[in-house]
Amino acid sequence: MAAKIKNHNVTFVHVPKTGGCWVEIAMRNAGLELKRIGHEHGNLDWLFHEEITLDGLVPFRLAKKWVRARRRLNFPVVPAKRFCVVRHPLKWYESFWRYKMDLDWEDWGKENSAAYWHPNSVLNDLGSNDFNEFMWNALRKRPGYVTELYNSYTKGGMDFVGRTENLANDVVNILNQLNIVFDEDKFRSTPRFNESKTPKGKIDWDPKLRDIVMRLELPSLIAFDYLSGDEAKKYGVESVRVRGATLV
């Protein structure tokens, strides 16, 4: 829902603060043509306002008629393959805080607004120069926010999910599995983009707070295989297995 790879029935779905800007730039550098579809960070919640087809944006009712017409004419309706990237939920909060510190806590979008929609608008007005204070603010307003965010992109189905922690390798593997021809050397050599200037050293998790966040974000930690063996035992989920998109 962010960028369709031209001449391929493949869409890259851009989850904010997971390295998606770099992925788009790297794909272009590698010789792939991308067509932006709708909102840069559009997810299924955004579709309450607008619907996406392969050719762009159309009203939801027309999109349904389009699909039905193709079926009546016996045209195959082949769903686009979709892939996205996620990161460890705790690292997502850290990255978000550092980025917003760089922007002096400028708002992203506006809650409950079609015209100014943004998935992270719910975190507006929660800013603090102290990371732990920001986290307490976020937990009071939206406990388990990152799991909610990831679910808003993946609940409709996702074919492949890469991880920021292994970004270049994962996306290369996904593109190869999709049989997309691209210049791998140029892809991998793409410079890093949009890195936060606020140093990581300013983040020092309160252990109690960290444990609370880990528990609240267990669904995404499990779904995207971020729990170590010891953590799985600690949180009583060592026997849980989640089936869904292919993790690479």
CA distance 175 to 244: 18
Q: Is the pLDDT of residue 33 over 50?
A: yes
Tell me how far the alpha carbon of residue 60 is from its chain's centroid: 23
Q: Looking at per-residue confidence, does 166 or 39 come out higher?
A: 166
**Please, what is the Cα angle at 7 between 3 and 8, to 5 degrees?**
65
- The domain made up of 3-247 has a fold known as Rossmann fold (3.40.50)
Per domain, the residue ranges of the chain are 3-247
Q: Looking at per-residue confidence, does 143 or 114 come out higher?
A: 143
The model's pTM is 0.85
Q: Looking at per-residue confidence, does 148 or 63 come out higher?
A: 148
Each residue of 179-197: pLDDT tens digit? 999 999 999 999 987 778 8
What pLDDT is stored for residue 146 in this prediction?
A: 98
| Tokens 């936060």 found at | 196
Each residue of 52-101: pLDDT tens digit? 444 444 555 555 665 566 566 665 556 679 999 999 999 999 999 999 99
CA distance 244 to 154: 9
User: 1 falls in which pLDDT band (50, 70, 90)?
Assistant: low
**Do β-strands 246-247 and 51-53 pair in parallel, antiparallel, or remain unpaired?**
unpaired
What pLDDT is stored for residue 200 in this prediction?
A: 83
CA pseudo-torsion sign 11, 17, 18, 24:
positive
C-alpha to C-alpha distances, 185 to 4, 29, 38, 141, 159, nearest whole angstrom: 22, 10, 30, 44, 25
CA distance 185 to 205: 38
Q: What is the mean pLDDT of residues 4-33?
A: 94
Residue 31: closest CA among 194, 181, 244: 181
Q: Is the pLDDT of residue 129 over 80?
A: yes
